[in-house]
Structure 1
Amino acid sequence: MNQATDEYDVIVLGAGPVGENLADRARAAGLSTAIVERELVGGECSYWACVPSKALLRPVLARAEARQVPGLREAVGGSLAAADVFAHRDKQVGNWKDDGALTWLESAGIDLVRGHGRLVGPRRVAVTPPDGSGGGERALTARHAVAVCTGTRAALPDMPGIAEARPWTSREATSAGAVPDRLIIVGGGVVAAEMATAWCGLGSRVTVLVRGSGLLNRIEPFAGELVAETLREAGAEIRTGTSVKGLARPGGVEGPVTVTLESGEQLEADEVLFATGRAPHTADVGLETVGLEPGGWLTVDETCRVTDVPDGWLYAAGDVNHRALLTHQGKYQARIAGAAIAARARGVERLDTGRWGEYATTADEAAVPQVVFTDPEVAAVGLTAEQAESEGRDIRVVDYDMGQVEGAALYADGYRGRARMVVDLDRGHLIGVTFVGPGVSELLHSATVAVAGEVPVDRLWHAVPSFPTISEIWLRLLEAYRG
């Protein structure tokens, strides 16, 4: 790769999926592009989040589903082979090496600059090489744009003993090579629910401490209720309305951790995972040199251009702009931002940034899809009923027991699940859909197309689901809607 050139059309900070996609779109448009990365090319999702977590969860969920199939459940008794699960996980993350990603960057014509990149003024980036790599700081200049795609990090609360106790974050939870006998998980969101499912399935005695009233409180309420029910059946303890005020690990890293609750009660575990939110990776990228507050989220317009920087050269895509903290949404933003940068570089003065326009990230507020890989799976897109009502929309909510669908009954004996669609009555189309049940993740894209496409409900009546599949849930929902 070209390491001599110090001027590019576009410079991207962060080589995770978001940065890679933005760089790819810019390069495909003919713009010279450099990407700066201080860790592994591929980013958090590839090595410490989406990929390794799903590798841990897949055997747990496959076994759970197999146990619901008559004639098969007897063949899948006993515990999982944790060593084999870890080996498969390690393979999926390339043993935490980014050789494959480097090959792709080179084939795409994108220059990689290793090191810590930070802004040092408008369109200027300084890169400090990795420790021990030799060489001095490298100065880069962007002709058209700099894009901050540095993502987020786990946010740990400020509480007594937390530094010495060295709790797990999502990174340790997805990369650990041994099963802790006792695991306490603090949090009630997606990371907490998925890691409770994974580690309980691998043999840990899991206790989940939720400050609020239940799991997955940003999704329809029945989702968290069904997941919690299954976790309890698997042996996990879930305690709601519970806050932690301190940690202690007096025996050092190898010793047990004592968790002190606000009530004064103390719990002991071999490891404690804090899954209590994310914070932007913007504290050390030089935002102060261009008039921005370091360490905060970056406010952007529909093309992901940072609104508080003159001349429109700075962009921020992915988690750092706080629009939708999901890898696939970040990649979506990156594709649009890369195309917008290229169009503006060509001198296009007015971009189509209206609702669902070519250069508008409308899906970030209207059609965000998400899958939670728990048992049962949770798949949702768009608004919940509560969110829609809070916006003052006139809606109708339709629920259906997924276990009553023939395809679901064939899929699993005693299938438990629920579906909900939220219809905007003024506009006549779906604005939200939620499925909970085994295998529902593969139903989600059809719902996403319906919500993003604003397909009239009457037209959906003509989208005929195949028999006997779980997708017949669509027919049941529409029949219930019609009455």
Structure 2
Amino acid sequence: MSDLEVDVVVIGAGPVGENVAGRAHQQGLSAAIVESRLVGGECSYYACIPSKALLRPVDLYAATQRMPGVAEAVSGGVDVSAVLARRDAFAAEDDTGQADWLSGAGITLLRGHGRLAGERAVEVTHHDGTTTSVAARYVVVATGSTPARPPIDGLDTVNAWTNQEATQVKEIPASLLILGGGVVGVEMATVFRRLGARVTLVQHGDRLIPTTEPEAGRRLQAALEADGVDVRLSTSMTAVRRDGGSGDGAERSSTGGEVVATLDDGSEVRGSELLVAAGRRPATSDLGVDTVGLEPGRPLDADESTTVLGDWLYAVGDASTGAKLTHMGKYQARICGDVVVARSRGQELGGRYSHHAATAEHTAVPQVIFTDPQVAAVGYTEAGARDAGLPVRAVSYEIGSVAGGSLQADGYDGFATIVVDTDRAVIVGATFVGQDVADMVHAATIAIVGEVPLERLWHAVPSFPTMSEVWLRLLETYGL
């Protein structure tokens, strides 16, 4: 006999796991959720929420400096202590409120480490060493991901930061080395440079944010360098160490002296701390997936209905093969909740979880990088579309050349690009770069998911004078 029997047990109480449990329970299924750390997960405490709480003040201050009449009144930079205090208001490491939400929703919270123990079985090891055996009709893996650690000599000896230490920082170091030019790397370079640290960013590839349009990476690099960030492209770290014999008091970390990184050209760079932002890996290594014939440490291969095995094992979020973004994980969670409810009732899943789910998961994934300039993108890049075998044409337009852009900020620097499938005359990708472009990406997402023909988009008239007028200019540039 098991200690607990429920319809659905979810391993992982981040926003993705919470959404699965909540959606299933709201439709009549009993649900339990297992969490070894904080209810709310990585996003709430160490990623999306705290990073944006840190980025918004420095972004807003920079925007004021591009507006005559405001720039003169707003000077002196941001108050670092106030920025950190506001971050704490959003992302303090206290999950009482989220745990209370689960309780109020009627979802059982099991605190401890959950592992599969065979088909439809989960064993939870609690922090006091006791265990709970859970039997469930449906098991959902929502364990997220962990930071990747590249094989660099000495990395395990220098107390390197991950995104967790960076987003929960208590004081700004004098200098920071960042390894990695992806989203975490460029966002944290923006934060720490504008809060007073000297920043050196080392990127193995030949451009920043390599999954976006090349021009986005170029403009972001130029902006970071204009801020004073030392960007090193096509460069690798081969070894790191703590040098306790150098650096004055301001340069010395609480864990020793400066971090010294040796680069592949033989040169060295130094910083008070080292942030490793070299990607993430699915948190499936110690999950017991081998008890059901799956390989530990790999993403769980889920189909469009989030199903992994039979009708009982599901995976959502970073632990699955889907896009590694909170909003996409929550989208998968809503599907997963509906699927287990439908199966519990013996209902057919229907087309909702086939064509449109495949479009959302693979060709219409939106993302915003909250740097300055912001980078907002959805769907294919031009190169990605060509690699996928699509016949495409891409057109771009400077956002600063529309009235809304020039009014938004003096010297507005930004652009928009659409990638058009020329056979079907529909948009399959879009990118916006510039100040305050984050919310512009949703219109493109709707156009891509809805497969809206360009000739119909022509009649979606943008408001004047807003930056959305760039849509009209893009269509005109394309030839409509």
TM-score for the superposition, normalised by structure 1 = 0.95
What is the aligned partner in structure 2 of residue 115 from structure 1?
Answer: 112
Tell me whether 253-262 or 324-333 shows the greater mean CA deviation: 253-262
The answer on whether the counterparts of 1:79 and 1:203 sit within 8 Å (CA) in structure 2 is: no
Partners of 2:115 and 2:12 lie apart in 1 by 11
Provide the secondary structure at the position in 1 that maps to 2:351: coil
Determine which of 442, 454, 469 is the counterpart of 2:439: 442
Among 419, 422, 443, the residue aligned to 2:419? 422
For the 8 Å contact 2:61–2:77, the answer to whether it is kept is: no
Which of 142, 154, 162 is residue 155 of structure 2 equivalent to?
Answer: 162
Q: Distance in 2 between matches of 1:109 and 1:175?
A: 31
Q: Distance in 1 between matches of 2:390 and 2:153?
A: 45
Cα distance 1:415–1:115, how it changes in 2: closer, same or farther (>3 A)? Answer: same
Shift of 1:355: 4.2
- Higher mean alpha-carbon deviation, 147-156 vs 68-77, is at 68-77
Does 2:428 correspond to 1:431? yes
- Give % identity: 50
Contact residue 335 and residue 353 of structure 2 kept, 8 A = no
Distance 1:217 1:15, change over 3 A: same
The alpha-carbon deviation at position 103 of structure 1 amounts to: 2.2
Look up the match of 2:130.
Answer: 136
1:372-383 matched pairs, under 5 angstroms: 372-383=369-380
Counterpart-to-counterpart distance in 2, 1:102 and 1:354: 31
Correspondence 1:346 to 2:345: yes
> What is the CA distance between 1:254 and its match in structure 2?
3.0
Amino acid in the other structure paired with 2:333: A
SS in 2 for 1:177: coil
Matches within 5 A, 1:3-14: 6-14=4-12
- Tell me what 1:326 maps to: 325
Amino acid at match of 1:365: H
**Aligned match of 2:48 in 44, 47, 50?**
50
| Superposition RMSD in Å | 1.4
* Cα-to-partner distance string for 1:375-396 (whole Å, 9 max, x where unaligned): 1000000100001111121112
Shift of the 135–397 alpha-carbon distance from structure 1 to 2, 3 Å rule, reads closer
Partner of 1:290: 292
Secondary structure at the aligned position of 1:386 is classed as helix
Letter in 1 for 2:470: I
* SS of equivalent to 1:301: coil
> Shift of residue 417 of structure 1?
0.3
Q: For residue 354 of structure 1, report the CA deviation from its aligned partner.
A: 6.1
Q: Residues 173-196 of structure 1, C-alpha deviation per residue, up to 9 Å, x if partnerless?
A: 111111111111111111111011
**Aligned position for 1:73:** 71
Tell me, in whole angstroms, the C-alpha distance in 1 between the residues paired with 2:196 and 2:19.
38
SS of 1:73's equivalent in the other structure is coil
How many Å separate the matches in 2 of 1:445 and 1:391? 23
Determine whether 1:232 maps to 2:225: yes
Matched, 1:39 2:32: no
User: Which of 216, 220, 223 is residue 213 of structure 2 equivalent to?
Assistant: 220
2:347 alignment partner AA = V
CA distance in 1, matches of 2:164, 2:129: 30
2:256 aligned partner: 254
Amino acid at match of 2:65: R
SS class of match (2:428): strand
* TM-score, reference length from structure 2: 0.96
* Structure 2 counterparts to residues 75-224 of structure 1, below 5 A: 75-93=73-91, 95-130=92-127, 134=128, 136-142=130-136, 144-224=137-217
The C-alpha deviation readout for 1:158-179, integer Å capped at 9, x for no partner, is 2211111011111111111111
1:456 aligns with 2:453: yes
- Tell me which residue corresponds to 2:57: 59
Could you say what secondary structure the match of 2:76 adopts? Answer: coil
Distance 1:425 1:447 in 2: 17
User: Take 1:384 and 1:160, find their aligned partners in 2: how far apart are those partners?
Assistant: 35
For 2:248, the equivalent position in structure 1 comes to none
Q: Secondary structure at the match of 2:216?
A: helix
Q: Which moved more, 1:12-21 or 1:392-401?
A: 392-401
Residues 2-29 of structure 1: per-residue CA shift (max 9 Å, x gap):
xx96000000000001101111111111
Does residue 1:471 correspond to 2:468, yes or no? yes
Instruction: Give the partner amino acid of 1:141.
Output: A
Q: Which moved more, 1:364-373 or 1:290-299?
A: 290-299
Partner residue, 1:371: 368
User: Which string of whole-angstrom CA distances, capped at 9 and with x for unpartnered residues, describes residues 134-171 of structure 1?
Assistant: 462111100x2100000001001122111110111111
Residue type matched to 1:139 in 2?
S
In structure 1, give the amino acid aligned to 2:110.
V
Q: Distance in 1 between matches of 2:15 and 2:378?
A: 21
Query: Number of paired residues?
Result: 470
3-state secondary structure, aligned to 2:429: strand
- Cα offsets for 1:197-252 (capped at 9, x unmatched): 11111011111111111101100011111111111111111111110011101438
Residue of structure 2 equivalent to 1:269:
271
**Secondary structure at the residue paired with 1:75?**
coil
Contact 1:303–1:353 (CA under 8 A) maintained in structure 2: no
Which ranges in structure 1 are unaligned for 5 or more consecutive residues?
none
Other structure's SS at 2:21 match: helix
Matched to 1:234, the amino acid is D
**Partner amino acid for 1:256?**
E
**Deviation digits for residues 405-434 of structure 1, max 9, x if unmatched?**
101111100000011001111111110010
Moved over 4 A (4+): none
Task: Supply the distance in 2 between the matched residues of 1:398 and 1:333 (Cα, whole angstroms).
Answer: 32
Q: 2:72 aligns to what SS in structure 1?
A: helix
SS in 2 for 1:332: helix
Counterpart Cα distance in 2 of 1:278 and 1:390:
24
Tell me the secondary structure at the aligned position of residue 200 of structure 1: helix
Change (3 A) 1:207 1:55: same
Q: Secondary structure at the match of 1:74?
A: coil
Residues 146 and 283 of structure 2 are in contact (CA less than 8 Å); yes or no, is this contact kept in structure 1?
Answer: yes
CA distance in 1 between partners of 2:70 and 2:30 (Å): 55
Q: Helix, strand or coil: the match of 1:217?
A: coil
Judged with a 3 Å threshold, the aligned counterparts in structure 2 of structure 1 residues 354 and 44 are, in CA distance, closer, same or farther, namely: closer
